[in-house]
Amino acid sequence: MKRDFLTLLDLSAEEISALLKRAIDMKSGIDANKCPLIGKSIGLLFEKASTRTRVSFEVGIYQLGAHPIYLNPNEIQLGRGETIPDTARALSRYLDAIVIRTFGHGLLAEFSAHSSVPVINGLSDLHHPCQALGDLMTILEKKGRLKDIRVAYVGDGNNVANSLIEAASVTGMNLTIACPEGHEPDADVLERVRAVANSEILILREPKEAVGRADVVYTDVWVSMGQEKESKKRKKRFKDYQINSKILSCAKKDVVVLHCLPAHRGEEITDEVMDGPQSAVFDQAENRLHAQKALLEMLVS
């Protein structure tokens, strides 16, 4: 029976734990010469531009022995009016799984409903679960555990924040989000996880309060793809939500700094913090590769 990965809640706590262990083993070089997906073909249907998601998936698919096929919507019949159900049914006859990076989350849900092969959310405006897997792997590497780790997310309550909320609810991390009024995470995501969460999830306004006693401090861009017209307004609204050395001094001395990238240096994060000794940003970027390889092995092999 095929399984999809559209949000982090599509995996159980036990599955996430096993996946992270497998990802760490893969990173260490265990089974480096094994190709569990040899002979498979994985489609990459990307409506949104990408650096890390595209490269990490293409490299990971190759390393697992499978063949990646990049699909630009404007270069296939989807861009000429073919329906999503018809595209999903047809691609299911050729591919063993498909990764979709898109705007509206509804496209993923509709595609998944008509696909007979696993569908993986490479990013939507609502969720970024593959990023969350890489984040969890990084925190586990740096802190040795996930349960009771205190994560402070400062900035826009966007798709990354939504997936972090789900990650915290599954793993037992405590998450505090500091964001301006009107920029909170998705209300449905919050309601859904609060009903089952085994961790503390708080929404605050004051960044210093959120960062206080944090083991991990996380931020993301203030202006995401598709929000460029709101750039000036957003930058003004978020100006007090920058991760800088002053804000970071409120956290624990051994705090780890994360950013999902790309970073707009000098806006949501300063060079001093981004390149400083507490930053694990590029370890985090690398871990997308290993976490996604473990995910593909779990869903496709």
Tokens of 10: 């599509």
Domain-located, residue 113: yes
Is 194 found in the same domain as 113? no
Distances (CA, A) of 169 to 13, 194, 228: 9, 8, 31
Tokens of 297: 């092995």
Tokens of 123: 């990013």
Task: Write out the H or E segment, with its range, that includes residue 36.
Answer: none
Do the bridges between strand 201-204 and strand 119-123 make them parallel or antiparallel, or are there none, so unpaired? unpaired
How far, in Å, CA of 219 to CA of 243, rounded?
7
Is 142 found in the same domain as 38? no
Is 226 found in the same domain as 134? yes
Is 168 found in the same domain as 73? no
Residue 205's pLDDT is what? 98
Parts of the chain with a pLDDT under 50: none
Residues that are catalytic: 101, 128, 131, 220, 260, 288
Q: What are phi and psi of 55, to 5 degrees?
A: -65, -45
Is 265 found in the same domain as 158? yes
Tokens 């969350």 found at = 132
> For the packed helices 13-28 and 129-143, what is the interaxial angle rounded to 10 degrees?
70
Do the bridges between strand 67-71 and strand 97-101 make them parallel or antiparallel, or are there none, so unpaired? unpaired
Is 54 found in the same domain as 23? yes
How far, in Å, CA of 185 to CA of 197, rounded?
16
Is 271 found in the same domain as 163? yes
Number of folded domains in the chain? 2
Is 122 found in the same domain as 254? no
CB atoms closer than 10 angstroms to residue 214: 24
CB contact burial 98-117 (16+ within 10 A = b; e otherwise): bbbbbeebebbbbbbebbeb
Is 198 found in the same domain as 70? no
CATH code of the domain covering residue 265: 3.40.50.1370
Is 195 found in the same domain as 78? no
Residue 197's pLDDT is what? 65
Among the listed residues 191, 264, 196, the one whose alpha carbon sits nearest the alpha carbon of residue 227:
264
Residue 214's pLDDT is what? 98
CB 47 within 8 A of CB 73: yes
Q: Greatest CA separation found in the chain? A: 55
How far, in Å, CA of 68 to CA of 86, rounded?
21
How far, in Å, CA of 228 to CA of 196, rounded?
36
pLDDT tens sequence across 160-194: 999 999 999 999 999 999 999 999 999 999 998 87
Range of 175's domain?
Answer: 130-283
pLDDT tens sequence across 205-243: 999 999 999 999 999 999 987 778 888 999 999 999 999
Residue 31's pLDDT is what? 84
| pTM for this entry | 0.97
Is 186 found in the same domain as 42? no
